[in-house]
A and B are shown apart, each in its own frame.
Chain A
Amino acid sequence: MAKVLVVTSGKGGVGKTTSTAALGAALAQAGEKVVVIDFDVGLRNLDLVMGAERRVVFDLINVVQGVAKLSQALIRDKRLDNLWLLPASQTRDKDALTDEGVRAVIADLRTKFDWILCDSPAGIERGATLAMRYADEAVIVTNPEVSSVRDSDRIIGMLDSKTVKAERGERVEKHVLITRYDSARAARGEMLSIEDILEILATPLLGIIPESQDVLKASNVGSPVTLNNAASAPARAYTDAARRLMGETVTMTVPVERKGLMNRLLGRRAA
């Protein structure tokens, strides 16, 4: 049974695209057949983070409008052959997406993949509502920061009212993914703690991704962080989160950076 998972947040810049790429790659590494879809029409970036920006010929809008077939628009990852990307259009705007078109594309993808990950644009407008519209599950990406938590709360309200599942009286299964977490700052009381965020949002936790330079390094080279450096702290956290999505029970930890002795002696961060 295929699962449609929306990666959403309300607020921009919290790590939706990074998380979609990392979770998609981690699920594919675990043997699942995965497609990641960019819903950010006009401001696509999932192609860039996945390192497929030069391979885009057709996109989601072309498929929705019948200009291209789904098979023509899907881009197969060069590293994992069971990972695919459906890019957004860079030249059109969000109005080019229609509810009926998205419904048809998702229904078609359900017959071909185990996981369909929808990378939502920021905001609560058309692109974001269509990205969540047909979801079975949702990952709400949240930073330990007041504006992000507030927007996540708003998005949770929309997942409970504006999705097809909610309209049928069913529930979209929701998970909070906390990104850019700094346990030292949280311990000093300078950052909202995991407990604070979970209590406020009243939604179960999928994982805690530590603040790390590895995330930027991975996007610099166009590789999901789980593929670029699987041993890094954020990669381990994303891999654990992906295993939880697959139904495994994995102990919740905040992976920490492993610094080499020389770096530690020199007080230098790994470059």
Chain B
Amino acid sequence: MNLRRLLLGGRTASAPVARERLQILLAHERGLRGQSDLLGLLRAEILAVVSRHIVLDPDKVVVRMDRGKTVSTLEVDIEVPNGVERLLAAAAN
């Protein structure tokens, strides 16, 4: 740090900070851009398929993508109302 300050004539270089902030921000924003349509589509189709058998609250269907370095996970979280097993059993008979 001292050496860098010395080389830069006593100033702190702000460009590396700008660069790092941008890289982090844009990685996030590009992710959102690519994903939003796919996730929305998945959510709509999953909702349609499950709704054929169970009455769902659309707000309780959550589709989320977590991007990791080597693998990414797709998380589908559907909250179903209580007593749905009985309805399913009745429907099967």
Chain A residues engaging chain B, CB cutoff 8 angstroms:
145-146, 149-150, 153-154, 157, 186, 188-193, 196, 200
B interface, size bucket = 10 to 19
- Once the chains bind, are B19 and A200 in contact (CB under 8 Å)? yes
Contact with A192, one of B9, B11, B15 (Cβ below 8 angstroms): B15
Residue ID in chain B nearest A157 by CB atoms:
B33
- Once the chains bind, are A153 and B30 in contact (CB under 8 Å)? yes
- Once the chains bind, are A153 and B29 in contact (CB under 8 Å)? yes
- Once the chains bind, are A154 and B11 in contact (CB under 8 Å)? no
B37 to chain A, nearest CB (A): 10
Contact with B11, one of A153, A188, A193 (Cβ below 8 angstroms): A188
9-residue interface stretch from B20-28, B40-48, B50-58, B84-92: B20-28
Question: A-facing mask of B6-21, CB < 8 A → 1, else 0?
Answer: 0011010111101101
A19 to chain B, nearest CB (A): 22
- Once the chains bind, are B30 and A190 in contact (CB under 8 Å)? no
Secondary structure call for the A interface: helix
A153 to chain B, nearest CB (A): 5
CB-CB nearest 4 A-B residue pairs: A189-B13, A196-B19, A189-B15, A146-B18
Residue ID in chain B nearest A189 by CB atoms:
B13
Determine the distance from Cα of A190 to Cα of B18 in the docked complex, in whole angstroms. 9
- Once the chains bind, are B19 and A192 in contact (CB under 8 Å)? yes
**Which of B13, B15, B25 has most A Cβ within 10 Å?**
B15
20 contacts between A and B (CB under 8 A): A146-B21, A149-B22, A150-B22, A153-B29, A157-B33, A186-B15, A188-B8, A188-B9, A188-B11, A188-B13, A189-B8, A189-B13, A190-B11, A190-B14, A190-B15, A192-B15, A192-B18, A192-B22, A200-B23, A200-B26
How many A-B residue pairs lie within 8 Å, measured between CB atoms? Answer: 43
Determine the distance from Cα of A98 to Cα of B33 in the docked complex, in whole angstroms. 26
Residue ID in chain A nearest B16 by CB atoms:
A189
Given A145-B18, A150-B26, A192-B18, 20 more pairs with CB closer than 8 A: A146-B18, A146-B21, A150-B25, A153-B26, A153-B29, A153-B30, A154-B29, A157-B33, A188-B8, A188-B9, A189-B11, A189-B14, A189-B16, A190-B11, A190-B15, A191-B15, A192-B15, A196-B18, A200-B22, A200-B23
Interface residues in B66-82 (C-beta closer than 8 Å to A) = none
A181 to chain B, nearest CB (A): 12
**Which of A145, A157, A186, A188 has most B Cβ within 10 Å?**
A188
Q: Given known contacts A192-B18, A193-B15, is B25 in contact with A157 (CB within 8 Å)?
A: no
- Once the chains bind, are B15 and A196 in contact (CB under 8 Å)? yes
Which residues in B have their C-beta under 8 angstroms from that of A196? 15, 18-19
- Once the chains bind, are A146 and B22 in contact (CB under 8 Å)? yes
Residue ID in chain B nearest A149 by CB atoms:
B22
Determine the distance from Cα of A193 to Cα of B19 in the docked complex, in whole angstroms. 9
Determine the distance from Cα of A31 to Cα of B5 in the docked complex, in whole angstroms. 51
